[in-house]
Amino acid sequence: MVPKKKLHLNFFDMTCNSAHMGVGMWKIDNDNTSKKDSLEYYIWLAKLAEKGKITGIFFADVYGVDDAFPGQFDAQFKAGSNCAQMDPIVFVSAMASVTKSPFVLARTYSTLDHATKGRVAWNVVTSYSTSSAKANGLEKVTAHDKRYEKAAEYLELCYSLWEGSWEDGSKVFDKSKDMAYDPTKIHKINFIGNHHQTSAIAPAHPSPQRTPVIFQAGASPAGKAFAAAHAEAIFVGGGKPSDTIGYVQEVRAAAAANGRDPQHVKIFPQMTPILGRTLEEAQAKYERYKAAADWRGGMAKLSQYLNCDLSKYPLDEPFDVNSIGKSDNAIHAMINMLKRFEGQNITPRIMGEKMAFCGFGPMPVGTPEMVADVMEDWVNNGDVDGFNIASKHAAPRLGNIQWTLYSAVQPYTKSPMGSMIAVGIMRGARNSGRPMPANSRAKDWKEAVNADRKASLVGGEQVSKNATSKGQWGRAA
């Protein structure tokens, strides 16, 4: 096996006391889905990831329940699908609530970055469901493209606080100078945007990364443009490399157009490997897991993603995948994914079964060496950089042969401690691929202000007129 590039593996989970991807798998003996409300579960998961040299743990998150259509709520809760939701930030995850103001969120991530010594990431998601909007006091969800416009400005404000408020060297604790922090190196950020604004000094001193690793998962034109400008890692769909390569090429080209090295944007499709010591053992597991999948819960979940009530269609008659239109209340990546089944005999029941059985991503069945070969095919022919490993059970419980899998893919995973996506962040050499503007750190603040007519220096403060000067205060370098 001669891989083209280093491979990253992430565990893919959700902090809910129910199923994330394997809907109905709680019925299998010894499944631990019902224990996901304990700190012990997440400590175990973190130790498993560290032992297995996993790059990261990717937590999905959502607000609200699946209740857009009749019967959907009952199906979701009976199946135990994405319900009994908890806040992942409490379990030291790499996710936070986008309902927080940028100032508050910037403090949260600075705190997490300090606590984890530079090992935190943020999956930037724009909410799509009406139930999520109503749970947060809104009547309806924001229009699709407008969500990305607001998200981009939100990020710019966070970048300003993380990168522009505290200079390197502001933390002193020098007894001879009777100084803990140097106030001449700490500056107020005045940010005025179309959707967000602040006038404040960033609350926390610079953390190891300053800016966390930015994950994203957009498939619409607006989502891809957002990813090309901001994302260091992108979660994508696809059942085989040929499904994904077009997206990968498009987003890498867009990143290059933004002045970035396209290979610095890491691409992660989902994968759900089913492993056995022999092919026969793996196939037997596959059949057992498939039998436990709750198609009703899967169909309710997919209906929410598509903003289309699949239960109103004949369960076992062919479904026209082109009948689903894109809306503000839908995940466009899921709609695009269904287009792969055009002309095939796919029914609402089959779609529900697929959604319940860990979704529509690749599910290689076999020995660890066979699964590693599938991964190699994706890397070589899909130009991906790793995988978010979804699980049938509450977490990637691959058993004792899990370590055999890691041995099989060791040519990819070269770091002895499990590698970080942003290479070199602990050495201050962030490899995000985003271009470093002259004023990306506060130490360049005065020079940048004097050089840029769109910014002004007022009493030792940084002023960013974001409405006319996008990206003024830089991003992680």
Per-residue confidence band for 13, with pLDDT thresholds at 50, 70 and 90: confident
Query: Does the pLDDT value for residue 108 go beyond 70?
Result: yes
Percent of all residues in the chain with a pLDDT value above 90, rounded to a whole number: 16
Query: Does the pLDDT value for residue 364 go beyond 90?
Result: yes
Per-residue confidence band for 86, with pLDDT thresholds at 50, 70 and 90: low
> Which tens digit of pLDDT belongs to each residue from 112-157?
888 788 888 888 877 666 666 666 666 677 777 888 898 899 999 9
Which is more confident, 397 or 66? 66
Residue 367's contacts (CB-CB under 8 Å, 6 or more residues apart) are 275, 276, 277, 278, 279, 282
Query: Does the pLDDT value for residue 250 go beyond 90?
Result: yes
Q: Which two tokens stand for residue 162?
A: 């993380």
**b/e map of 68-104 (b: 16 or more CB within 10 Å)?**
bbeebbebbbebbbbbebeebbebbbbbbebeeebbe
Which is more confident, 163 or 391? 163
Rounded CA separation 469/442 (Å): 17
What pLDDT is attached to residue 283? Answer: 93
Per-residue confidence band for 421, with pLDDT thresholds at 50, 70 and 90: very low
Task: Specify whether the CB–CB gap between 194 and 152 falls below 8 A.
Answer: no
What pLDDT is attached to residue 427? Answer: 31
What pLDDT is attached to residue 300? Answer: 86
What pLDDT is attached to residue 284? Answer: 93
What pLDDT is attached to residue 161? Answer: 92
What pLDDT is attached to residue 91? Answer: 66
In the chain, where the domains are located: 8-63+82-286+361-465
Percent of all residues in the chain with a pLDDT value above 70, rounded to a whole number: 68
Rounded CA separation 227/220 (Å): 10
Q: Which residue is it, tokens 């750190």?
A: 441
Rounded CA separation 375/97 (Å): 33
Query: Does the pLDDT value for residue 298 go beyond 70?
Result: yes
Q: What is the mean pLDDT of residues 19-46?
A: 74
CATH tag, 8-63+82-286+361-465: 3.20.20.30
Task: Specify whether the CB–CB gap between 254 and 234 falls below 8 A.
Answer: no
- Say which range, 220-224, 392-396, 459-463, has the weakest mean pLDDT: 459-463
Q: Which residue is it, tokens 């604004």?
A: 197
pTM for the structure as a whole:
0.70
What pLDDT is attached to residue 401? Answer: 41
What pLDDT is attached to residue 377? Answer: 92
Q: Which two tokens stand for residue 189?
A: 């950020």
Average pLDDT of every residue of the chain: 74
Per-residue confidence band for 66, with pLDDT thresholds at 50, 70 and 90: low
Query: Does the pLDDT value for residue 254 go beyond 90?
Result: yes
